[in-house]
Amino acid sequence: GAGVSQTPSNKVTEKEKYVELRCDPISGHTALYWYRQSLGQGPEFLIYFQGTGAADDSGLPNDRFFAVRPEGSVSTLKIQRTERGDSAVYLCASSLIHSTDTQYFGPGTRLTVL
């Protein structure tokens, strides 16, 4: 079956621009996670959705970052007024119910802020 998909695969933008990153989880998975991975580092948690609601957004670095999951399936990570330090690979994962289930990761979106 289809895995987690993310679009776009690559995004190049300039400072101060607005970007949206999309995640399509595995069908039927209620839990969805966003992580950010910088070069040479492990992924760092950003936000966790259970259904439509953000159950834990403690990893969002500041109020320029926002994520939604309005229908409990597709999620969009939104970054306002991008900064060079936002450059990273943004990974999305989903699991059947919660973290006691295997988390399946998408291929990521590589964001480059010039």
Partner 1 sequence: KQEVTQIPAALSVPEGENLVLNCSFTDSAIYNLQWFRQDPGKGLTSLLLIQSSQREQTSGRLNASLDKSSGRSTLYIAASQPGDSATYLCAGAAQGGSEKLVFGKGTKLTVNP
- Which residues contact partner 1 by CB under 8 A? 4, 31, 33, 35, 40-45, 48, 50, 55-56, 58-59, 91, 93, 98-108
- Min dist CB 15 to partner 1, Å, is 25
- Min dist CB 86 to partner 1, Å, is 19
Of residues 77 and 91, the one with the C-beta less far from partner 1? 91
Three-state secondary-structure class, residue 92: strand
Q: State both tokens at 54.
A: 């953000």
Of residues 33 and 113, the one with the C-beta less far from partner 1? 33
CA distances from 49 to 8, 17, 18, 83, 98 (A): 21, 25, 22, 25, 9
- Min dist CB 43 to partner 1, Å, is 5
CA distances from 18 to 27, 47, 76, 78 (A): 28, 19, 13, 7
